[in-house]
């Protein structure tokens, strides 16, 4: 079992003493390793291996990849799945980067597949994405912004898997800016993020 884990070290580590940097690095690495083995945010099983099938967006998984969430529920992205990042609202890419790069890449793979399958509640799928982001090394604030983006502007579907037309699926820049400010200044709970309403 292999797991790809990215560790992002805070900028302040570069300015502290050598001892402080080593301690901080050890803490961050320990958190990442515990996740890959089954930590508080779950674990990944396998390695994301892909090839481009469309030069602009689409990739095909070359091997099974799996995320096990904190409750022990398995989220499989089987070999042959098409990954295109479409489950992540494109407006978020300017704030957090493309879903094909960075610490939330693994989470975006299983989220893409779950949004295509639509065999679980959309609320559960987006919550899984938050936990998988944290498991992959995404910090709390950025993970909450990603969660807010998919919860408010990402895909939704009914219990029979039919897509729901949702009035806020095309966010305005001001909506995202308000969400970002709300998360960065208030550090809200996931429940508070769910009930957030932008001011008009």
| Residue with token string 């998360």 | 183
Q: Look at 31-40, 113-122, 127-136, 139-148 and tell me which has the smallest mean pLDDT.
A: 31-40
Query: Does residue 14 have a pLDDT over 60?
Result: no
Query: What is the arithmetic mean of pLDDT over 133-144?
Result: 95
Find out whether 138 and 107 touch, Cβ atoms under 8 Å: yes
Query: What is the arithmetic mean of pLDDT over 119-126?
Result: 97
- Residue 38 pLDDT class (50, 70, 90 cuts): low
Q: Look at 26-30, 49-53, 87-91 and tell me which has the smallest mean pLDDT.
A: 26-30
* Mean pLDDT value across the chain: 81
What pLDDT is recorded for position 143? Answer: 96
Q: Sheet with 50-52: list strands edge to edge.
A: 50-52, 59-61, 82-83
* Rounded Cα–Cα distance for residues 48 and 140 (Å): 23
Report pTM.
Answer: 0.78
Find out whether 161 and 169 touch, Cβ atoms under 8 Å: no
What pLDDT is recorded for position 91? Answer: 75
Q: Look at 3-12, 27-36, 67-76, 138-147 and tell me which has the smallest mean pLDDT.
A: 3-12
């Amino acid at each position: 079992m292999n797991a790809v884990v990215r560790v992002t070290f805070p900028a302040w580590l570069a300015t502290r003493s050598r001892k402080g940097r080593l301690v901080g690095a050890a803490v961050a690495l320990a958190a990442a390793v515990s996740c890959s083995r089954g930590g508080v945010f779950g674990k990944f099983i396998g390695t994301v291996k892909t090839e481009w099938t469309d030069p602009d967006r689409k990739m095909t998984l070359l091997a099974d990849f799996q995320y096990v969430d904190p409750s022990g529920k398995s989220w499989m992205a089987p070999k042959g799945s098409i990954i295109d990042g479409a489950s992540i609202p494109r407006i978020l890419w300017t704030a957090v980067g493309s879903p094909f790069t960075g610490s939330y890449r693994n989470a975006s793979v299983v989220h893409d597949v779950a949004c295509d399958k639509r065999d679980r509640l959309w609320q559960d799928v987006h919550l899984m994405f938050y936990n998988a982001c944290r498991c992959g090394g995404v910090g709390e604030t950025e993970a909450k912004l990603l969660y807010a983006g998919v919860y408010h502007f990402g895909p939704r579907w009914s219990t029979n898997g039919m897509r729901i037309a949702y009035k806020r699926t095309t966010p305005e820049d001001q909506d995202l800016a308000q969400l970002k400010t709300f998360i960065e200044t208030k550090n809200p709970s996931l429940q508070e993020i769910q009930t957030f309403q932008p001011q008009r």
